[in-house]
Amino acid sequence: NGINFYDTARAYTDSEEKLNYAFEGFNEKYPRESVIIATKTQGENRKDIEKDIKISLDNLGTDYIDLYQIHNPSFCPTEGDGSGAYDALFDLYDEGIIRHIGFTSHKEELAKEAIESGLYETIQFPFSYLTGPKELAIVEMARANNVGFIAMKAMSGGLIGSSKAAYAYINSFDNVVPIWGVQRMSELDEFLSYMKDEPALDDELEEIIKKEREELQGDFCRGCGYCMPCPEGIEIFQCARMSLWIRRFPSAPSLTPESQEKMKKIEECTECRQCVSRCPYELDIPELLKKNYEDYKKILSGEIKVD
């Protein structure tokens, strides 16, 4: 039992270098062929993709990438479409530099287009037990088209409270591989324990899922960060989730002077709506920020009590 699939990206700061460091540059202890490495390019043309792959290979300390994914593009690259993006990916595949070609997106229509194109072997898309019929339809479309489905945001950006329920739910789909976004050793230990003794999606876990779906129904920020940066320096992906975060986890870390200062930045929002244009979930972010800030001020004043 263990984990052999590692997902990273050029856009994730120094994530690729850290992966290289963790595997000690690959050696007899950690043979390169013992792991599957997936990374990504935000390039949407040949020049940028060819530049990105060279940097990724160097960062990762390898001479090939198992799965190379085009990272949340503004369109679905296809053969001969004039952008040169897919043609560059295929040439890298033909040369053996990448072994599989994938597509990542937060947008339903682009994900469907990529699946139906027949050009991509995997689709990476947000999926958890908080998602609904649209996401389930994409999972089934991927299955029908023999496209692997990689579930990002499997813990919904940290809002899901039960990793056991999350694991059991995702594990009930035989064509879905999750990315858990582990940040602590304790979290890693939890998921490794589930792999050794897989939890069944029983009545108890179903009840947890039902309760959390009721609490988190409607529009809420998934914390993907695509709205950033904010011209006024507002940490949108933190501030727009505060009302949920402060109720689902111990409130003390969210009430520190530093957190209060970050929330106060919401007052500087000019409603330029740049964030709205970037949000893949089409949220009214300025309005969401206002609601969270008003709620936060009531919590600070003691008008609303939280644990």
- Collapsing DSSP to helix, strand or coil, 194 comes out as helix
Looking at residue 32, its pLDDT comes to 92
196's torsion region: left (phi>0), alpha (psi -120 to 50) or beta? alpha
- Please give the domain boundaries of the chain with CATH numbers for all domains: 5-211 (3.20.20.100), 236-301 (no CATH)
pLDDT average, residue stretch 101-124: 97
Chain segment 133-173, per-residue pLDDT in tens:
999 999 999 999 999 999 999 998 888 889 999 999 999 99
The DSSP secondary structure of 251-298, one letter per residue, reads SGGGSSHHHHHHHHGGGG-----HHHHH-TT---HHHHHHHHHHHHHH
Looking at residue 1, its pLDDT comes to 56
CB 306 within 8 A of CB 247: yes
Within 13 Å and on the Cβ side, how many CA atoms surround 44? 6
Strand partners of residue 176: 149
Separation CA 198–CA 90 (nearest Å) = 38
Q: If you search the block for the tokens 């899922």, which residue do you land on?
A: 209
Chain segment 249-300, per-residue pLDDT in tens:
889 999 999 999 999 999 999 999 999 999 988 899 999 999 999 999 999 9
Looking at residue 29, its pLDDT comes to 86
Chain segment 53-76, per-residue pLDDT in tens:
999 999 999 999 999 999 999 999
Separation CA 273–CA 306 (nearest Å) = 31
pTM over 0.75: yes
Chain segment 202-239, per-residue pLDDT in tens:
999 999 999 988 887 667 888 888 899 999 999 998 99
Separation CA 175–CA 85 (nearest Å) = 27
